[in-house]
Amino acid sequence: MRILQLHSNYIEYKPIQKEIAIAEETDKETKRLEEVVVLFTAVEEGDDETVAHKAVDEVKAFLEKLKVNRILIYPYAHLSSNLAKPSEALKVVKAMEAHAKAQGIETHRAPFGWNKQFTISIKGHPLAEQSRIILPTKAKKEAEKVSEALKAEEKLVSYWYILQPDGKMVPVEEFNFKGHENLEKFAKYEISKVRASQQMPPHVPLMKRLEIADYEAGSDPGNIRWYPKGRLIKSLIEQYVTAKVVEYGAMEVETPVMYDFNHPSLADYINRFPARQYVLKSEDRELFLRFAACFGQFLMVHDTQFSYRHMPLRVYELTRYSFRREKSGEVVGLRRLRAFTMPDCHAFCTDLEQAKKEFITRFKLCIQVLEGIGLTKDDYEAAFRFTKDFYEENKDFIKSLAEIFGKPVLVEMWSEPFFYFRLKWDFNFVDNQDKAAALSTDQIDVENAKRYEITYIDEKGERRYPLILHCSPSGAVERCIYALLEKAYKQQQKGEPPTLPLWLSPTQVRLIPMSEKFLEHCEKMAETLEANQIRVDIDERPLTIQKRIREAEMEWIPYIIVVGEKELESEALPVRDRKARKIRKMTLKELMDEIKSQVQDKPFRPLPLPKHLSKRPQFYG
RNA sequence: GCCUCGGUAGCUCAGCCUGGUAGAGCAACGGCCUUGUAAGCCGUAGGUCGCGGGAUCGAAGCCCGCCCGAGGCUCCA
């Protein structure tokens, strides 16, 4: 809303003719007001009652200064190029009038929708002429864009159970959680939303101190800056997940990050997905940033020729980025971001039988992927979510999933379908604040093929709609890193040294020469290690050994070797092994074999920083 | 988004209540030390006290608004 506020000796105005259909009724008499503050007001798109109140409140504060208590609200479109619809504008203007009257201000209002003639005399004092811009509080503006799914979710009724590996389903309040403390925390988090956090999430100081990632104040909250070490870790996980999904049989593609809000299939889908979007304007279009890879892939497959012979048809994209405009109070560290990297893999299946089979393949794939990243079943809990109907018809199938998982699973059952899927599972990491965050997930989608007009040709030559499985095999990559850091912190709380998996450690081996004399020997060792695809660096700074050891330990470096006189003479190196918490005598060859055996099936990238510590900048602290 | 708390040197923080010359440790930089497995010593430099406004002779400090972060609420594919 824009207001031109004029402290006037008098104003005279006269309605001449109606400009729009919804113009208010009025007589065409000349009106005159004296000693009045005139508010020429333009109502803009997105303005609402709250804005009207805010505007009046601001004006009121001003009136008190001027010691005036008479206003004229004068609708005046020419102040803005982004006007609200007349019907909305009239509502807002009326809200201003009502609120001003309620505040005890003598309030007059010129009719809305008329072409008017006016004469005004403005007082000359410094405060007589002012302009104001009142913006809607963000909440209100967003409320207009909240999807139907979000609204539906508010009304959603869930029934909670624990599904045991043997297939028995027990109401959650009857389940004995002994030995399943993590599941208990997860269930509480999901159901009662109770949590007892006194501290800030430990991964946040860790991600900063380890120079992995940090907040970027120059962006929107939840958009993260990645330092070289973090970029390496993230990149390795990205490569790993992609390799596993390709191995499973998916075709990797790339699709746009932004889409037309008014595209018919998309607009409809957005309303079935419980998330908020970033919206941006470009020329006359309203675009939104994707929150998953579904759009691009569906639009692509819509144009694809395929039959039952090609199915299940598997399409994959690593979205860098997916955007979700989470509530600001929810965005935290690497747990919940507004821009994140998510592998998203869809499988188009002929029928429920094929979908179920594929679902099981992917379920196993996800367990494997997380394991590779460094998260075992002990680190996360599973939730299965489905409609009652689906469960009744597919009991054995759901039981078989629980059996594969091998641990009790939290079940959320809905009496009616609210979303576009009928069955969904997710793996959830429970962190040091007892909060849960979903990692891998898969869903059976029964709606979107129709919505996007995706069809395949069946054995009889007829067009049919496939079922679509949506899977993120690892969940957001940032969230995996969050889970690894939180897990490391848990280790530390138990008195163990915190570690990252060896294949993700930015430095795998650090060499510390006793003095310059031994630098050359270190260089040779480093060359050998590098030739074997091991990330090695050399701390040749003129600091004490103790200090350099300490810093290497604080960086969580898995292997540290001090090189001095003895190492020139002997093959046996004193390797400080972080995990074993001791110095192990071994040859370089033995060390290399040990490392290779641990990282063999994982991708490799070279050291992301200068090899020599003396050449290395400090990104944080 | 709401409520509460916080934002002071690159980092961690003191100073704020009770207004009057901006502090420490770590890091950086310069030097000494030449080191055998988690902090050696001395020195130098480093600050729009988050941003904007207000009251005051005078603001890091008091008042108001905004931005960012944290905890809680809410929400969570």
Q: Which of A484, A516, A544 is the last residue before a domain boundary?
A: A484
Q: What mean pLDDT is reported for chain A?
A: 87
Q: Among A169-183, A188-202, A456-470, A513-527, which is the least confidently predicted range?
A: A188-202
Q: CA A520, C1' B41: Å apart?
A: 28
Q: Among A130-134, A198-202, A211-215, A255-259, which is the least confidently predicted range?
A: A130-134
Q: CA A329, C1' B18: Å apart?
A: 36
Q: Is the CB of A189 under 7 A from strand B?
A: yes
- The average pLDDT across A325-329 equals 83
Q: What confidence score (pLDDT) does residue A140 get?
A: 31
Please indicate, yes or no, whether residues A479 and A590 belong to a single structural domain of this protein.
no
Q: Please check whether residue A414 lies inside any domain of the structure.
A: yes
Q: Is the CB of A424 under 7 A from strand B?
A: yes
Q: What confidence score (pLDDT) does residue A89 get?
A: 81
Q: What confidence score (pLDDT) does residue A128 get?
A: 67
Q: Please check whether residue A451 lies inside any domain of the structure.
A: yes
- The average pLDDT across A435-459 equals 92
Of all protein residues, which has its CA closest to the C1' atom of B77?
A274
Q: Please check whether residue A492 lies inside any domain of the structure.
A: no
Residues A474 and A413: their CA atoms lie apart, in Å, by 24
Please indicate, yes or no, whether residues A421 and A362 belong to a single structural domain of this protein.
yes
User: Is the confidence at residue A393, as pLDDT, over 60?
Assistant: yes
CATH of the domain at A521: 3.40.50.800
Of all protein residues, which has its CA closest to the C1' atom of B70?
A200
- The average pLDDT across A219-241 equals 93
DSSP characters over A30-70: -EEEEEEEEEEEE-BTT--HHHHHHHHHHHHHHHHHHT--E
Is pLDDT larger for residue A578 or for residue A332?
Answer: A578
Q: CA A509, C1' B67: Å apart?
A: 43
User: Is the confidence at residue A195, as pLDDT, over 60?
Assistant: no
Q: Please check whether residue A512 lies inside any domain of the structure.
A: yes
Q: What confidence score (pLDDT) does residue A192 get?
A: 65
**Cα dihedral sign, A62-A68-A69-A74:** negative
pLDDT category at A145 given cuts 50, 70, 90 is very low
Nearest alpha-carbon partner for A343 in A523, A477, A436? A477
pLDDT tens column, A54-70: 778 777 767 776 678 88
Answer for the pair A15, A118: CB distance below 8 angstroms, yes or no.
no
Chain B: bases < 7 Å from a protein Cβ: 1-3, 10-12, 26-28, 32-40, 67-77
Please indicate, yes or no, whether residues A581 and A608 belong to a single structural domain of this protein.
yes
User: Is the confidence at residue A407, as pLDDT, over 80?
Assistant: yes
Q: Which of A484, A512, A541 is the last residue before a domain boundary?
A: A484
- The average pLDDT across A566-571 equals 91
Answer for the pair A382, A161: CB distance below 8 angstroms, yes or no.
no
Q: What confidence score (pLDDT) does residue A560 get?
A: 97
Q: Is the CB of A404 under 7 A from strand B?
A: no
- The average pLDDT across A367-373 equals 96
Q: Is the CB of A353 under 7 A from strand B?
A: no
Query: Which residues form the domain of A31?
Result: 2-143
Q: Which of A106, A126, A143 is the last residue before a domain boundary?
A: A143
Please indicate, yes or no, whether residues A161 and A27 belong to a single structural domain of this protein.
no
Tokens of residue A504, six digits: 């993700």
pLDDT category at A139 given cuts 50, 70, 90 is very low
Is pLDDT larger for residue A522 or for residue A152?
Answer: A522
Please indicate, yes or no, whether residues A476 and A532 belong to a single structural domain of this protein.
no
Please indicate, yes or no, whether residues A61 and A165 belong to a single structural domain of this protein.
no
- The average pLDDT across A425-444 equals 92
Answer for the pair A347, A362: CB distance below 8 angstroms, yes or no.
yes
- The average pLDDT across A480-484 equals 96
Q: Among A271-275, A320-324, A597-601, which is the least confidently predicted range?
A: A271-275
Tokens of residue A332, six digits: 């935290």
Q: Is the CB of A126 under 7 A from strand B?
A: no
User: Is the confidence at residue A126, as pLDDT, over 70?
Assistant: no
Nearest alpha-carbon partner for A438 in A312, A342, A553? A342
Of all protein residues, which has its CA closest to the C1' atom of B9?
A621
Query: Could you give the percent of chain A with pLDDT greater than 70?
Result: 90
Answer for the pair A391, A414: CB distance below 8 angstroms, yes or no.
no
Alpha-carbon distances of A619 from A225, A227, A230, A340, A504, rounded to whole Å: 11, 7, 11, 22, 19
Q: What confidence score (pLDDT) does residue A216 get?
A: 85
Please indicate, yes or no, whether residues A258 and A326 belong to a single structural domain of this protein.
yes
Q: Is the CB of A502 under 7 A from strand B?
A: no
Q: Is the CB of A24 under 7 A from strand B?
A: no
Q: Is A510 helix (H, G, I), strand (E, B) or coil?
A: strand
Q: Please check whether residue A220 lies inside any domain of the structure.
A: yes
Q: Is the CB of A486 under 7 A from strand B?
A: no
Q: Please check whether residue A22 lies inside any domain of the structure.
A: yes
Q: Is the CB of A443 under 7 A from strand B?
A: yes
User: Is the confidence at residue A193, as pLDDT, over 70?
Assistant: no
Using the CA of A518, which nucleotide's C1' is the nearest one? B34
Q: Is the CB of A222 under 7 A from strand B?
A: yes
Q: CA A621, C1' B46: Å apart?
A: 14
Please indicate, yes or no, whether residues A370 and A253 belong to a single structural domain of this protein.
yes
Q: Tokens 């998510």 belong to which residue?
A: A342
DSSP characters over A197-265: --S--THHHHHHHTTSEEE-TTS-TT-EEE-HHHHHHHHHHHHHHHHHHHHHTPEE----SEEETT-HH
User: Is the confidence at residue A18, as pLDDT, over 80?
Assistant: no
- Say which residues have a Cβ less than 8 Å from residue A20's Cβ, sequence separation at least 6: A86, A113
Q: Among A99-113, A308-322, A493-507, A524-538, which is the least confidently predicted range?
A: A99-113
Please indicate, yes or no, whether residues A21 and A155 belong to a single structural domain of this protein.
no
Q: HEC states along A449-477?
A: HHHCCCCEECCCCCEECCEEEEEECCCCH
pLDDT category at A148 given cuts 50, 70, 90 is low
Q: What confidence score (pLDDT) does residue A271 get?
A: 65
Q: What confidence score (pLDDT) does residue A42 get?
A: 83
Q: Is the CB of A362 under 7 A from strand B?
A: no
Q: Is A502 helix (H, G, I), strand (E, B) or coil?
A: helix
A298: DSSP letter: H
Q: What confidence score (pLDDT) does residue A210 get?
A: 94
User: Is the confidence at residue A467, as pLDDT, over 50?
Assistant: yes
CATH of the domain at A458: 3.30.930.10
Please indicate, yes or no, whether residues A435 and A509 belong to a single structural domain of this protein.
no
Please indicate, yes or no, whether residues A316 and A338 belong to a single structural domain of this protein.
yes
- The average pLDDT across A67-82 equals 79
Q: For strand B, which residues in window 552-571 of chain A come within 7 Å by CB?
A: 553-554, 560-562, 564-567
Is pLDDT larger for residue A263 or for residue A468?
Answer: A468
Of all protein residues, which has its CA closest to the C1' atom of B3?
A329
Q: What confidence score (pLDDT) does residue A276 get?
A: 75
Tokens of residue A559, six digits: 């292997």
Please indicate, yes or no, whether residues A47 and A72 belong to a single structural domain of this protein.
yes
Of all protein residues, which has its CA closest to the C1' atom of B39?
A547
Q: Among A128-132, A293-297, A497-501, A560-564, which is the least confidently predicted range?
A: A128-132
Maximum CA extent, chain A: 109
Q: Please check whether residue A333 lies inside any domain of the structure.
A: yes
User: Is the confidence at residue A385, as pLDDT, over 50?
Assistant: yes
Q: What confidence score (pLDDT) does residue A403 get?
A: 95
Q: What confidence score (pLDDT) does residue A143 get?
A: 35
Of all protein residues, which has its CA closest to the C1' atom of B67?
A217
Q: CA A621, C1' B25: Å apart?
A: 13
Q: Is the CB of A407 under 7 A from strand B?
A: no
Domains in chain A, number: 3
Q: For strand B, which residues in window 89-118 of chain A come within 7 Å by CB?
A: none
Q: What confidence score (pLDDT) does residue A150 get?
A: 58
Cis amide bond preceding A321, omega within 30: yes
How big is chain A by its Cα radius of gyration, in Å? 32
Q: What confidence score (pLDDT) does residue A279 get?
A: 81
Q: What confidence score (pLDDT) does residue A459 get?
A: 95
Q: What confidence score (pLDDT) does residue A165 get?
A: 94
Q: Is the CB of A184 under 7 A from strand B?
A: no
pLDDT category at A142 given cuts 50, 70, 90 is very low
- Say which residues have a Cβ less than 8 Å from residue A287's Cβ, sequence separation at least 6: A258, A259, A260, A261, A279, A280, A281
Q: What confidence score (pLDDT) does residue A93 get?
A: 86
User: Is the confidence at residue A183, as pLDDT, over 80?
Assistant: yes
Q: Is the CB of A597 under 7 A from strand B?
A: no
Q: What confidence score (pLDDT) does residue A149 get?
A: 60
Q: What confidence score (pLDDT) does residue A207 get?
A: 92
Q: What confidence score (pLDDT) does residue A151 get?
A: 57
Q: What confidence score (pLDDT) does residue A141 get?
A: 33
Using the CA of A150, which nucleotide's C1' is the nearest one? B75
pLDDT category at A374 given cuts 50, 70, 90 is very high
Q: Please check whether residue A87 lies inside any domain of the structure.
A: yes
Q: What confidence score (pLDDT) does residue A86 get?
A: 76
pLDDT category at A572 given cuts 50, 70, 90 is very high
Using the CA of A214, which nucleotide's C1' is the nearest one? B69
